[in-house]
Structure 1
Amino acid sequence: MSTIERAEVFVASPGRNFVTLRITTSDGVTGLGDATLNGRELAVASYLRDHLVPLLIGRDPARIEDMWQYLYRGAYWRRGPVTMTAISAVDTALWDIKGKVAGLPVYQLLGGRSRDGVLVYGHASGTDVPSLLDDVARFRDLGYQAIRAQAAVPEIGGSYGVRKGAIYEPAAGSLPDEQPWSTEAYLNFAPGSLRAVRERFGFDFHLLHDVHHRLTPIEAARFGKEVEDCRLFWMEDPTPAENQDAFRLIRQHTTTPIATGEILNSIWDVQQLITEQLIDYVRTTVVHAGGITHLKRIFDLAALYHVRSGSHGATDLSPITLAAAVHLDLAIPNFGIQEYMAHADETMEVFRTNVHLEDGLLDTAEVPGLGVEYDEKAAERFPYDPRYLPVARRLDGSIHDW
Structure 2
Amino acid sequence: MRIRSAEVLVASPSRNFVTLRLTTEDGIVGLGDATLNGRELAVASYLRDHVAPLLIGRDAHRIEDTWQFLYRSAYWRRGPVTMSAIAAVDMALWDIKGKLTGLPVYQLLGGASRTGALVYAHASGADLDDLADSVHARIEEGYKAIRLQVAIPGMGGGYGISSGRASGGRYTYEPAKRAGLHVEEGWDSSRYLRYLPTMFEWARAEFGPEVMLLHDAHHRLTPVQAARLAKDLEPYDLFWLEDITPVENQESLRLVRQHSTTPLAIGEVLNSVWDFRTLVQEQLIDYVRASVTHSGGITHLKRIFEFAGQYQIRSGSHGPTDISPVGMAAALHLDLAIHNFGIQEHMAHDRLTDEVFRTGFSWHDGAMHPGDAPGLGVEYDDDAAARFPYEPAYLPTARLVDGTVHDW
TM-score, normalised by the number of residues in structure 1: 0.99
Residues 142 and 359 in structure 1, CA contact (< 8 A), matched pair in contact too: no
What residue in structure 1 maps to residue 357 of structure 2? 351
Structure 2 unpaired stretches of 5+: 166-171
What residue in structure 2 maps to residue 329 of structure 1? 335
Q: Which amino acid aligns with 1:181?
A: W
Q: How far did 1:357 drift?
A: 2.2
Single out whichever of 167-176 and 20-29 deviates more from structure 2.
Answer: 167-176
1:400 to 387, 403, 406: 406
| Aligned-partner Cα distance in 1 for 2:368–2:202 | 28
| Aligned-partner Cα distance in 1 for 2:64–2:346 | 28
| Aligned-partner Cα distance in 1 for 2:281–2:93 | 30
Q: How far did 1:358 drift?
A: 2.5
Q: How far did 1:356 drift?
A: 2.2
| Aligned-partner Cα distance in 2 for 1:77–1:336 | 32
2:301 to 291, 295, 301: 295
Single out whichever of 92-101 and 164-173 deviates more from structure 2.
Answer: 164-173
| Aligned-partner Cα distance in 1 for 2:142–2:9 | 35
| Aligned-partner Cα distance in 2 for 1:154–1:215 | 18
2:264 to 258, 266, 272: 258
What residue in structure 2 maps to residue 191 of structure 1? 197
Q: Which amino acid aligns with 2:207?
A: F
What residue in structure 2 maps to residue 216 of structure 1? 222
Q: How far did 1:261 drift?
A: 0.4
| Aligned-partner Cα distance in 1 for 2:362–2:347 | 12
Moved over 3 A (4+): none
What residue in structure 2 maps to residue 180 of structure 1? 186
2:370 to 344, 364, 369: 364
Determine helix, strand or coil for the equivalent of 1:156: coil
Q: Which amino acid aligns with 2:364?
A: E
Residues 262 and 283 in structure 1, CA contact (< 8 A), matched pair in contact too: yes
What residue in structure 2 maps to residue 99 of structure 1? 98
In the alignment, structure 1 residue 131 sits paired with structure 2 residue 130 = yes
Q: Which amino acid aligns with 2:234?
A: E
| Aligned-partner Cα distance in 1 for 2:44–2:258 | 43
Q: How far did 1:364 drift?
A: 2.3
Identity of aligned residues (%): 63
1:339 to 323, 335, 345: 345
Structure 1 unpaired stretches of 5+: none
Q: How far did 1:197 drift?
A: 0.6
What residue in structure 2 maps to residue 86 of structure 1? 85
| Aligned-partner Cα distance in 1 for 2:276–2:154 | 35
Determine helix, strand or coil for the equivalent of 2:154: helix
1:205 to 194, 205, 211: 211
Q: Which amino acid aligns with 2:363?
A: L
Residues 22 and 30 in structure 1, CA contact (< 8 A), matched pair in contact too: yes
Determine helix, strand or coil for the equivalent of 2:200: helix
Q: Which amino acid aligns with 1:168?
A: Y
| Aligned-partner Cα distance in 1 for 2:127–2:164 | 15
Deviations 1:228-274 (CA, angstroms, capped at 9, x unpaired)? 00000000000010011011111001000000001110001111101
TM-score, normalised by the number of residues in structure 2: 0.97
Q: Which amino acid aligns with 1:145?
A: K
RMSD: 0.7
What residue in structure 2 maps to residue 169 of structure 1? 174
Deviations 1:140-188 (CA, angstroms, capped at 9, x unpaired)? 1221110001100011110001101221101013303111100001001
